[in-house]
Amino acid sequence: MQLKPQLSKLFKFCALVCLLFVMTGCRFNMRDQPRYEALEGSAFFEDGRASRQMIEDTVARDNLRTDEHFYTGQIDGVPVETFPFPVTKEVLTRGQQRFDIFCAPCHGRIGDGNGMIVQRGFKQPFSFHIDRLRDASPGYFYGAITNGFGAMPIYATRIPPEDRWAIVAYIKALQLSQNAALADVPETELENLENQ
């Protein structure tokens, strides 16, 4: 008589274990739905492609980037020599702040290529004060920040375009500050320096 309750418990236990196995084997996941991969062929469409072409005259709703100068730092594939907006004190202040965050760890606070990362043993970048980079256009620096250069990573996803241009303006100001001659100082400022 006592064997039946034990068999009943054993049956319930086995049923529970089987139910757990069945439940763990079932996955109702959206990624398991039938779908086409990018650029995969399809017999459904006449042209044999699963990826559809953009509808003619489609207008972008976000991130419409028609200003080539501002967004690429180039015009017709050539780095620009000018800034897409006036360089003001506020722009330079913002550029210095962004430079100190994103650039100074490698390039150093004065752009000499001796940042803290370099002092810890990483590859040293070029100094911004060598002739080749001092003569480089603002578009060149913007492109390097946007697309990366050598060991330098791509910053397009981390730094918005306005801040990239502000950093470029600050780099150009750093280059002027580190390579300035006494003749470059305006006369009014020179008189102030002499009176101190």
Whether residue 191 lies inside any domain: the answer is no
Whether residue 160 lies inside any domain: the answer is yes
Whether residue 170 lies inside any domain: the answer is yes
Determine what percent of the chain is predicted with pLDDT higher than 70.
Answer: 91
Number of domains in the chain: 1
Three-class DSSP category at 79: strand
Whether residue 187 lies inside any domain: the answer is no
Whether residue 166 lies inside any domain: the answer is yes
Whether residue 159 lies inside any domain: the answer is yes
Whole-angstrom Cα distance, residue 132 to residue 23? 66
Q: How many Cβ atoms from other residues are within 10 Å of residue 23's Cβ?
A: 8
CATH at residue 113: 1.10.760
In angstroms, what CA-CA distances link 149 with 141, 145, 154, 182? 10, 8, 8, 34
| Model confidence pLDDT, tens digit, residues 97-119 | 999 999 999 999 999 999 999 99
pLDDT of residue 174: 95
Whose tokens are 């990483």? That residue is: 122
Whether residue 143 lies inside any domain: the answer is yes
Three-class DSSP category at 57: coil
pTM score, whole prediction: 0.67
Strand partners, 41: 49
Q: How far is CA 157 from the centre of its chain?
A: 3
Whether residue 82 lies inside any domain: the answer is no
Query: What range does the domain containing 152 cover?
Result: 109-179
Asked if residue 143 has pLDDT above 90, the reply is yes
